[in-house]
Amino acid sequence: MRKLTLVFSATVLLAISAFGQGKPGNLEQVLALLDKASAGFKTVQTNFVWDQYQSVIKDHDIQSGVMYFRRAGNNVEMAADIQKPAQKYVLFTGNELQVYLPRADQVTRYMVGKNRGDFEAYLVLGFGGRGSDLQKNFEMHYAGVENVDGKSAYKLELVPKAQKAKSMFRLITLWIDQQTGMSVQQRFQENAEDFRLAKYTSILINRKLPDSAFKLKTTGKTKYITPNN
């Protein structure tokens, strides 16, 4: 009976992947697309919606705003302007991750140091990173092609290789736009039921971004906190 169920499930998945989707592919093609997108990557601006679901309290914490990514030498920097439900700014530049809460007028600073590569692997996932870098950090599985908000996207399933990361996310799923090589959707599975789903829309590639996008809008009274990492 179990064998029959598995065969049925596989058949259903294949049928779903084949119905009304874009051009087929494989893992090597997706990694090549990511490498190509990374080679020409300078900046990205995108709207986002994050849905953090906690099964214990059956709660969806939904945040939305605008994100910015830009190439800085060999690294990629990220800024998130979270506008709803409350204003919050997240900035990842150099060897520092900063989170600013305007209501509290407080910045929490995390020094990433030699672990910058690990932070970058997750914070800028699907935006400017090379396919070869994904292979270094994740076990990868190509899961076909799906339609995401009208865009044909390659679906990749990633399992972190590092034990610390794996304890946080048992599975990460990326949907990569077949045309641009940028992520249009991500799902971070924390355990069997808890997850964060991220959707990206109005993606603008290689447009000039204001320098202010990568500066926290602090005040003269802002309090800075640096926890022990």
Give the CATH number of domain 24-225; options: 1.10.110.30, 3.40.50.300, 2.50.20.10, 1.10.3720.10.
2.50.20.10
Residues 6+ apart with CB under 8 A from 53: 59, 60, 61, 193, 194, 195, 196, 197
Residue 225 has pLDDT above 70, yes or no: yes
**pLDDT given for residue 24 in this prediction:** 60
In our burial notation (b when 16+ CB lie closer than 10 A, e otherwise), range 60-81 reads eeebebebbbbbeeebbbbbbb
Q: Taking the model in full, what pTM does it have?
A: 0.81
Mean pLDDT of 82-108: 94
How much is the pLDDT for 215? 93
pLDDT at 2 over 70: no
The predicted structure's pLDDT at residue 15: 30
Question: Residue 16's pLDDT is what?
Answer: 29
CA 176 to chain centre: 11
Q: What is the model's pLDDT at position 11? A: 29
**What beta strand segments (E) does 73-222 contain?**
75-84, 88-93, 96-101, 106-111, 138-148, 151-160, 171-177, 183-189, 195-205
Mean pLDDT of 192-196: 89
For 139-158, write each residue's pLDDT tens digit: 999 999 999 998 899 999 99
Mean pLDDT of all residues in 180-205: 93
Residue range 198-208: average pLDDT? 95
pLDDT for the residue 14:
29
